[in-house]
Chains A and B, each alone.
Chain A
Amino acid sequence: MAKWLIPVLTASMVLGGCASVPRGSIPVVDSGTSASELQDGGSAGYASAAPQASMQSAPEDSGVVVMVPGGSSAPIQTFPASGAGGGIANQQPLTFGSGSDVPAAPSSGTFTAPSMPSQPSGIPSGGGLAADEQLDGPVLALLTSAQQLQGSGDLNGAASSLERAQRIAPREPQVLYRLAEVRLAQGDAAQAEQFARRGLSYASGRPALQASLWDLIAQARERQGDPAGAAQAREQARVNL
């Protein structure tokens, strides 16, 4: 065998080994299954910057949606005793025993509905609250911070702060009033109306606050395309003042 063959063959052998280095470097690639797994995880990490942004853009409504059975947006009369005064379609109109038309104190109907000048549909500044509405420390503090958040344009933060206040004082109608206000500002007129109504159920004996709540309901109904219901709510607001 020719001597010159030896270097040629050796070189080809080495080069062959060279060529197979990536596969042959077992410690890093082949046995490094977990490392490469981690690498994958890492690169997924970079890639998910974009998905995160898309998550951020998801509106808060991605959470829960209220089902309306029967699809009727017609609210249920909270003050059925006012009879037609509320004028709100009731699923089961309450018919009472013969002619007992004892008027409900706060909502007794003046059935002549003078057309109220339509109110500006902006966010009320909360000025509707009477000065005698005393709030205690924690609720006042949270309403104040919600006001600040709302002022800075952070409606989600404001709503979140108000929900915190609602957990602390679930039966305080002023909290529900503010929650309704913020919902309205967020464009959720239906929830705004619901919170104002919940507020009414705790506002007994507080006519100024009742008037503010009715006024808010009127605005919410207007936004929902229910001018008739809005007019009736305005009437309630006027009666309560």
Chain B
Amino acid sequence: MTRTRSPRSRSKRRPSRGLRPLLGWAVKLGLVGLVVLAGFAVYLDAVVQEKFSGKRWTVPAKVYARPLELFVGQKLAKDDFLKEVDALGYRRETAVDGPGGVSVAGNTIELHSRGFQFYEGNEPSQRVRVRFSGDYVAALSQANGSNLAVARLEPMLIGGLYPAHQEDRVLIKLDQVPPYLIETLVAVEDREFFNHFGVSPKSVARAIWVNASAGQVRQGGSTLTQQLVKNFYLTNERSLTRKATEAMMAVLLELHYDKREILEAYLNEVFLGQDGQRAVHGFGLASQYFFSQPLSELKLHQVALLVGMVKGPTFYNPRRNPERALERRNLVLDVLAEQGVASAEEVETAKQRPLGVTQRGSMANSSFPAFLDLVKRQLREDYREEDLTEEGLRIFTSFDPILQLKAESALSDSLKRLSGRKGVDEVEAGMVVTNPETGEVQAMIGSRQPRFAGFNRAIDAVRPIGSLIKPAIYLTALERPSQYTLTSFLEDEPFSVKGQDGQVWRPQNYDRKAHGTIYLYQGLVHSYNLSTAKLGLELGVPTVLKTLDRMGVSRQWPAYPSMLLGAGALSPLDVAGMYQTLANGGFNTPLRGIRSVLTAEGQPLGRYPYQIQQRFDAGAIYLLQNAMQRTMREGTGRSVYNQLPASLALAGKTGTSNDSRDSWFAGFGQDVLAVVWLGRDDNGPTPLTGATGALQVWTDFMRKADPLPLDMPMPDNVVQAWINPTTGQGSDPSCPGAVQMPYIRGSEPAAGQACGIQAPVDSVMDWVRGWLD
């Protein structure tokens, strides 16, 4: 290299040794330059073609909420329905005009659904009429009046699985674009698009003229093709060589591909906004991101806004800088009128419209990081990372945005109410909501700031469960009807046992009192530690742990007596799985957040089928549920009925660990199960017990969620028997004060004598009361 450099300086030092030889060199040099340029062009051509043919973009997997089903008799409040319809970007119209339109007239709602490809097949786009009555769907038909048994809306998009560079897009085809989009884009960005060959000398000349007269760079002469080349192949660097390369590549691109293809690529490539770590690319995603609507449904004013944003997606961000964005949009609209793309009236109407972007914090514009975390963990077990971030898979989940928002507001409202107590501000939270009848996770909260994507306490906060373990002990007992019934006697008295390690274990009741001889169910209902621990020791700690295992808790805990009072630690999700078995008649089901997976083309790929396994006799579960309902009526959970109607049968259990470090509540109705944990991340003491903390959140949630009352069919091996509540002996409905108790057939006390015909009316009333209880 040194040899070549010194001659160069020498040749430069002798510039004028006659003109002719110099010209000769120039021609020769020019020829060499042409060859070099041609070589470079061939190279660029390869680059252009390689990337443009085949798959141009990788698309992250999309995660969808459950689709909202519509059928007669469905429990669904009209307001909840409208909230979801709004989140799906339906336009409120007086008369429904095309897919994505909805009109509301009193309790009757008419909408034109958009249709969607599901695992089970295609849901058509159709006009549907729904009539609500109370909190139920009272009628469903097609808009023309013909019969419709069941329909579902499109599922809400709740997130995606982004790769490292976090470019996100929704790919669209040219025939999916709304009217005006292409005309507007061409009018604003590149008027000569359909005439030039990749670069437009006319535009360049105009740009130079404008910039020169303004004395600064005002306008670029870039064609759409050049912009595409710049974004698709090159970096943002501003230099002449890059500009030249860009121009060459633009020409080459135009040589190989037609205008429509180039336009389609442009529409998918262009950067239109930044959403945290995620870059919003393409008009397809931008339409979803800003309006929650599919691109094809956009109206003139929305099209004008998006096209206007191409010039500066951050500067004209309609959420951050609404005035600027509005000004820019209206400027674009004026250009359209000026160029005759749209009529003056159309433009005038469009200018009167608001920006129309979805608001932050609305259902459509919220993130649900805890649930997405659950979905991602499951997917990463079954799919490769590249498949998730690049293949555009569609993930269908059981996520219920309506229940999620109710859970979030229950948590924040309750914490606000409790915030008077010292120390509540440091309390964190985790919550899981499932449907016990399907085993699906419907909502999840991982932090008291539910939008905060960080430590997911619903899955990762593994904390001592305290008395939440007690149902396992009582279930173990109730599985032995020859030994234990709900009205067996237990001694609630102080005792101590020596553990294997020589330590003496001396349990205590929460109120530090002993309660003497009690019925077995009362030990659970009032969460007495003494009687429960004694019962657990009678049954054997390993036996109780075996029951826990059958309930779905797969942790290897040592068989210490302290386990009987909940020294073992679980996450809220674990607890939900455990109580799920109790809520679902003794059938265990692995909790699922994902239903199915489709490819980007809508082909079925994977399914997460509903699986169940009977782990307990239905009779024993029936008795346990009875006791857990009494917990809510007369025991540690009774504060719920200060807020909830007495007709709503619920079962549940409080849990509090030592020094109130953990405040738990787990409970369920027929179709909703919720687990709430409150506690500090540093494991410090809180001012909250299970009843004063987690139960308050749970109650508020159940009030909002309004579940169906618990109603387990009575198994064939269970009988209801009348007993005398003071003695536990068999009684008769005619006797004053007699109450009904369920027993495993054969374990009930012998029926007592009838108490004469003294007050037939009363006894009938008692009988009725007994059934109501």
Residues of A within 8 A of B (CB): 1, 5-7, 9-10, 12-14, 16-18, 21-22, 25-28, 31-35, 37-39, 41-42, 44-46, 48, 51-52, 55-56, 58, 60-70, 75-81, 90, 92, 94-97, 100-102, 104-107, 136-138, 140-142, 145, 149, 156-157, 159-161, 163-164, 166-168, 170-171, 179, 191, 194-195, 197-198, 201-202, 204
Query: In the complex, A68→B1 CA distance in Å?
Result: 75
Would A80 and B744 count as touching, CB distance under 8 A?
A: yes
Residues of B within 8 A of A (CB): 1, 4, 7-8, 10-11, 14, 25, 29, 32, 35-36, 39-40, 43-44, 47, 50-51, 54-58, 69, 71-74, 119-121, 149-150, 165, 232-235, 237, 239, 241-242, 244-245, 382-384, 386-387, 390-391, 435, 437-438, 440, 479-482, 546, 549-550, 554, 585-588, 590, 592, 594-596, 599, 603-619, 671, 713, 715-717, 719, 744-748
Q: Which residues of B contact A32 (CB under 8 A)?
A: 233-235
Would A14 and B119 count as touching, CB distance under 8 A?
A: no
Q: A37-B165, A97-B747 are in contact. Are A198 and B587 (CB under 8 A)?
A: yes
| Residue of B39, B120, B748 ringed by the most chain A CB atoms within 10 A | B120
Would A142 and B242 count as touching, CB distance under 8 A?
A: no
Would A77 and B39 count as touching, CB distance under 8 A?
A: no
Would A201 and B242 count as touching, CB distance under 8 A?
A: no
Q: Which residues of A contact B595 (CB under 8 A)?
A: 160, 163
Would A42 and B150 count as touching, CB distance under 8 A?
A: no
Q: A28-B245, A94-B481, A160-B607 are in contact. Are A63 and B382 (CB under 8 A)?
A: yes
Q: Which residues of A contact B587 (CB under 8 A)?
A: 194, 198
Would A38 and B746 count as touching, CB distance under 8 A?
A: no
Q: CB < 8 Å: which of A18, A138, A171, A197 contacts B150?
A: A138
Query: In the complex, A151→B217 CA distance in Å?
Result: 68
**Chain B residue with the shortest CB-CB distance to A52:** B391
Would B608 and A63 count as touching, CB distance under 8 A?
A: yes
Using a Cβ cutoff of 8 Å, how many contacts connect chains A and B? Answer: 280
Would A55 and B383 count as touching, CB distance under 8 A?
A: yes
Q: A32-B234, A55-B606 are in contact. Are A1 and B10 (CB under 8 A)?
A: yes
Would B7 and A6 count as touching, CB distance under 8 A?
A: yes
Q: Nearest-CB distance from A112 to chain B (Å)?
A: 21
Q: A21-B36, A60-B609 are in contact. Are A9 and B235 (CB under 8 A)?
A: no
Would B744 and A31 count as touching, CB distance under 8 A?
A: no
**Chain B residue with the shortest CB-CB distance to A163:** B610
Q: Which residues of A contact B51 (CB under 8 A)?
A: 38-39, 42
Would A137 and B149 count as touching, CB distance under 8 A?
A: yes
16 more CB-based (< 8 A) A-B contacts, given A25-B40, A42-B55, A55-B383: A6-B11, A27-B239, A31-B235, A60-B608, A66-B611, A68-B613, A70-B546, A80-B744, A100-B746, A104-B717, A104-B745, A138-B71, A160-B595, A195-B612, A198-B612, A201-B715
8 contacts between A and B (CB under 8 A): A14-B32, A35-B232, A39-B51, A52-B391, A55-B387, A56-B603, A142-B150, A167-B437
Would A21 and B40 count as touching, CB distance under 8 A?
A: yes
Would B8 and A157 count as touching, CB distance under 8 A?
A: no
| Residue of B10, B121, B480, B745 ringed by the most chain A CB atoms within 10 A | B745
Query: In the complex, A100→B748 CA distance in Å?
Result: 10
Q: A97-B747, A138-B150, A166-B438 are in contact. Are A60 and B549 (CB under 8 A)?
A: no
Q: CB < 8 Å: which of B43, B588, B606, B745 contacts A96?
A: B745
